[in-house]
Structure 1
Amino acid sequence: MAASHGTTTRAHRAAAVAVLVGLLCACTGDDPAQPSPASSGTPSTGPTTREPAPEPTASDAPAPARLVVLPEVGVQVAEVATGLDAPWGLAPLPDGTLLVSLRDERALVVVDPATGEVSPVGGPGADELRDGTVTGGEAGLLGVAVGPADSDAPGEVFVHRTAGTGNEVLRGTLSGGQLSGLTPVVQGIPAASTHDGGRLAFGPDGLLYVATGDAQQRGASQDPASLAGKILRVTVDGAPAPDNPDPASPVWSLGHRNVQGLAWDATGRMLASEFGQDTFDELNVVEPGGNYGWPDVEGTGGAGAGFVDPVTTWSTDEASPSGLAATREGVYLAGLRGEALWRVPFASPDGGASPDAFGAPRRVLADVGRLRTVVVDPATPPGDDGSSVLYVLTNNTDGRGEPRDGDDRLLRVTITPAG
């Protein structure tokens, strides 16, 4: 079926129809669990002679990055591509096209945002994904990331998938629409039919971050020896980053239930979105070595016990946040059960890790169904006025939505100051 996507998309593609979407409402809320039987996988577990540069003085030191505080924004939406089957991961490629993973088809496709054309990825790596990926429930081919220019693997493709022995991260080279054979980066991440995490992202430090779920093993989130319920930070070869909280471990933070969104703002602050169980979904500022409380705490109230409290929460029927993106003026969460794109505005131009650094959550996009992923368009520089462009994947064909004609869609969302 993957080979037919280009034809299907061209048949459905319309001229980019822009729809001005007003800022709808301010809500707080959170998303309930979606229980299903777990089937856990098996864990594996040259010198220089150049004169040194002088220290910057107060007059020539670079100014710290600042954020833009906008109380409201306007939103324009254009349809880029249609006919995507349960899309999950989304990553810009160096040539300006977009790499998309299809969870249940166990396939990668490339979308040209200028034409909407969808092209299947072939090659030995594509064969390995098709033949070795296990699907069912939330398992399958999940996150994708592309090594940035300042990483040790520029342009390399990284994928997160469920295999017969658990979740794993693999690496390959994409050239001319063909993916090379894949090399393991991280293996032995516990897997289940739900709570598989799956998001991959490169941080400003050029290192790879991996979001994992608890795979229905609650106690594993608090076990530093388990890779479940964690955010991992590794080199492009899978080794623990040398300045991790424990230099011998890939664990960057723990106590997570099911993280599926990772992002960094202009100040370098790391953010993560997380599914709750019955009461609260969360937006967290991630601190190295931080413990986010699951399963002992859901939502706020854990600070007294040494846990890190979220900066924003939702009721579980309002959000179910998956993908996450940060612009200069706010954080955007792709809501599945809440069927909306949520904006959490910045309240301080200097960042911060307290709830006071964030404004009230607001829906800025609705009426398109479930949303899985949101990323910032790197080809469109952010405006001084706070404007930016996002790409958003709908997810109505994931088995829990109500597909409409042409689903699923890749949308281009333009954010501008209101008024």
Structure 2
Amino acid sequence: MQKIISLAIILISVMVLPNAFAEINVETVLDNLKNPWELEFAPDGTIFFTERDGKLWVIDNESTLQLVAEFPASNTAEGGLLGLELDPDYENNHFLYLYQTYLDIPTHQNKVVRYTINNNQLTDELVLIDKIPGALWHDGGRIKFGPDEMLYITTGDATNANLSQDTASLAGKILRINSDGTVPNDNPFNSPVFSYGHRNPQGLAWNENGILVSSEHGPSGERGYAHDEINVIERGKNYGWPIIVGDSNDIVYTNPILHSGDITWAPSGLLYYYSDKIPEWKGKFLVATLRGEHVMVLDLDLENGVVNSAEKIFQGDYGRIRNLVQSPDGDVFMLTSNNDNDKILQISVLETIPLSVEANERSTTSNDYSLYVIIAAIITGILIVIWRKKS
């Protein structure tokens, strides 16, 4: 905008409009990590996260990074120190839960252990569930408390696909236990098993109505390829692996609400985003993908089994993405899994501020100047005003 006026005192007013546009901003919180796997926020804002090679870290409110513990976790191709969860009553009991792979010669096993943490020290170790079959691959590893305050656990088939159909085995399942390791009275098989027929489920999230959704890796050669799945998890249901890949007409098996067809996503962490901070994501599921190297934003009608929309973002920008976690203030923390110089990234919004500019002449001294008002830095709300002599 150019306006020739007398040299004057200019009154500039800035007005923030109700529905300002939002720009996504991604910043690095930590780098030089190796395969961070899970991250959780304590009620006071403290951040805990795991690295697959056995390290448990904490970032306190002063942004100080401290190693809490290092476990002799068997860092297999996919196993190690994986899932991390805090108790629903963490403020009072300081319970912290970990999913660990360990060597049990000649094979591997997985277990879920509860600790008490105070002053960044772990005490009172209690093994809640043990002897979950493990292997170099397909170790599952996600642990999450549901809205019913039960602890849900994803387990892989430990490269023995037939275990997934065996309800007496803990492999290839979604498990459900009480916070002390006991079996809830309403579990379907009088055991920790909640659902079965899974290959390698990696993500768990609930929507606002308490409906559970899981992400799961499809086959990689033994029974075809791809067909990664997003499943709506129900008590006692059979999700088909290894008998069914993708959709089935057999009512014995529960079909995924979405699968990848012949494309491989390798979906990992799953987040149901419920904050107003990033309006475009509110009420949608965000899926971290490893092979796909993107985040998938899913608008799912779970009651009717309909996918309203599926959008890929950050395609190839950060490599393999392991997990997504919502912070208490509505930002999203994203963990990469590239085996070298991995990062914890913070996704937030920069609000663009539409500007209303008024120029009012107050005094006249010269007609030799032009005024340029350049609204060039809308994102930061900076207004650039340039005076230039006409000559």
Could you state the TM-score of these two structures normalised by the residue count of structure 1? 0.71
Q: Taking structure 1 as reference, are residues 183 and 176 closer, same or farther at Cα in structure 2, changes over 3 Å only?
A: same
2:181 corresponds to which of 234, 238, 242: 238
Hey, what's the Cα distance between the residues in 2 that align with 1:336 and 1:359?
Answer: 23
- Residue 188 of structure 1: CA displacement? 1.1
Q: Percent identity?
A: 36
Deviations 1:224-245 (A, max 9, x none): 0000000000011211112111
Hey, what's the Cα distance between the residues in 1 that align with 2:110 and 2:240?
Answer: 23
Q: Which residue in the other structure is 1:352 paired with?
A: 303
Hey, what's the Cα distance between the residues in 1 that align with 2:239 and 2:100?
Answer: 25
Kept in 2: contact 1:81–1:116 (CA 8 A): no
Q: Taking structure 1 as reference, are residues 353 and 201 closer, same or farther at Cα in structure 2, changes over 3 Å only?
A: farther
- Residue 251 of structure 1: CA displacement? 0.7
Q: Which residue in the other structure is 2:88 paired with?
A: 148
Q: Which residue in the other structure is 1:90 paired with?
A: 39
Within the alignment, does 1:325 sit opposite 2:271 as a pair?
A: yes
Name the structure where strand makes up a greater proportion of residues. Answer: 2
- Residue 365 of structure 1: CA displacement? 2.1
Q: Which residue in the other structure is 2:116 paired with?
A: 173
Amino acid at match of 1:375: V
Hey, what's the Cα distance between the residues in 2 that align with 1:318 and 1:345?
Answer: 20
Q: Provide the secondary structure at the position in 2 that maps to 1:163.
A: strand
Q: Which residue in the other structure is 1:3 paired with?
A: none
Query: What RMSD over aligned residues (CA atoms) do the two structures have, in Å?
Result: 2.4
Deviations 1:150-191 (A, max 9, x none): 89x843110001122311001101111111142100001000
Larger mean CA deviation between 359-368 and 291-300 belongs to 359-368
Kept in 2: contact 1:285–1:311 (CA 8 A): yes
Within the alignment, does 1:160 sit opposite 2:103 as a pair?
A: no
Q: Which residue in the other structure is 1:195 paired with?
A: 138
Deviations 1:243-281 (A, max 9, x none): 1113x2111100000001001111111000000001300
Within the alignment, does 1:216 sit opposite 2:163 as a pair?
A: no
Amino acid at match of 1:374: L
Q: Taking structure 1 as reference, are residues 189 and 148 closer, same or farther at Cα in structure 2, changes over 3 Å only?
A: same
Deviations 1:119-157 (A, max 9, x none): 1104xxx4xx23xx2122111111111111289x84311
Amino acid at match of 2:237: G
Hey, what's the Cα distance between the residues in 2 that align with 1:416 and 1:293?
Answer: 44
Q: Which residue in the other structure is 2:50 paired with?
A: 101
Q: Taking structure 1 as reference, are residues 173 and 93 closer, same or farther at Cα in structure 2, changes over 3 Å only?
A: same
Within the alignment, does 1:262 sit opposite 2:262 as a pair?
A: no
Within the alignment, does 1:139 sit opposite 2:76 as a pair?
A: no
Q: Which residue in the other structure is 1:310 paired with?
A: 256
Q: Which residue in the other structure is 2:290 paired with?
A: 336
2:234 corresponds to which of 279, 287, 305: 287
Kept in 2: contact 1:143–1:198 (CA 8 A): yes
Kept in 1: contact 2:36–2:51 (CA 8 A): yes
Hey, what's the Cα distance between the residues in 1 that align with 2:127 and 2:165?
Answer: 25
Within the alignment, does 1:77 sit opposite 2:26 as a pair?
A: yes
Hey, what's the Cα distance between the residues in 2 that align with 1:229 and 1:343?
Answer: 26
Hey, what's the Cα distance between the residues in 2 that align with 1:417 and 1:256?
Answer: 42
Kept in 1: contact 2:246–2:261 (CA 8 A): no
Deviations 1:325-369 (A, max 9, x none): 0023210111111111111123x4xx4151x2x323211223011
Deviations 1:24-55 (A, max 9, x none): xxxxxxxxxxxxxxxxxxxxxxxxxxxxxxxx
Hey, what's the Cα distance between the residues in 2 that align with 1:273 and 1:119?
Answer: 31
Q: Which residue in the other structure is 1:24 paired with?
A: none
Q: Which residue in the other structure is 1:414 paired with?
A: 348
Q: Provide the secondary structure at the position in 2 that maps to 1:219.
A: helix
Q: Taking structure 1 as reference, are residues 353 and 213 closer, same or farther at Cα in structure 2, changes over 3 Å only?
A: farther
Amino acid at match of 2:49: V
Number of residues paired by the alignment? 315
Q: Which residue in the other structure is 1:363 paired with?
A: 312
Hey, what's the Cα distance between the residues in 2 that align with 1:314 and 1:118?
Answer: 38
Amino acid at match of 1:335: T
Deviations 1:292-311 (A, max 9, x none): 0000111112x424111111
Kept in 1: contact 2:35–2:337 (CA 8 A): yes
Q: Taking structure 1 as reference, are residues 395 and 332 closer, same or farther at Cα in structure 2, changes over 3 Å only?
A: same
Point out the structure with max Rg over C-alpha.
Answer: 2
Hey, what's the Cα distance between the residues in 1 that align with 2:132 and 2:155?
Answer: 8
Q: Taking structure 1 as reference, are residues 409 and 300 closer, same or farther at Cα in structure 2, changes over 3 Å only?
A: same
Could you state the TM-score of these two structures normalised by the residue count of structure 2? 0.75
Hey, what's the Cα distance between the residues in 2 that align with 1:161 and 1:316?
Answer: 32
Hey, what's the Cα distance between the residues in 1 that align with 2:121 and 2:245?
Answer: 43
Q: Taking structure 1 as reference, are residues 310 and 95 closer, same or farther at Cα in structure 2, changes over 3 Å only?
A: same
Kept in 2: contact 1:319–1:338 (CA 8 A): yes
Kept in 2: contact 1:73–1:415 (CA 8 A): yes
Q: Taking structure 1 as reference, are residues 190 and 115 closer, same or farther at Cα in structure 2, changes over 3 Å only?
A: same
1:110 corresponds to which of 58, 63, 71: 58
Q: Taking structure 1 as reference, are residues 315 and 409 closer, same or farther at Cα in structure 2, changes over 3 Å only?
A: farther
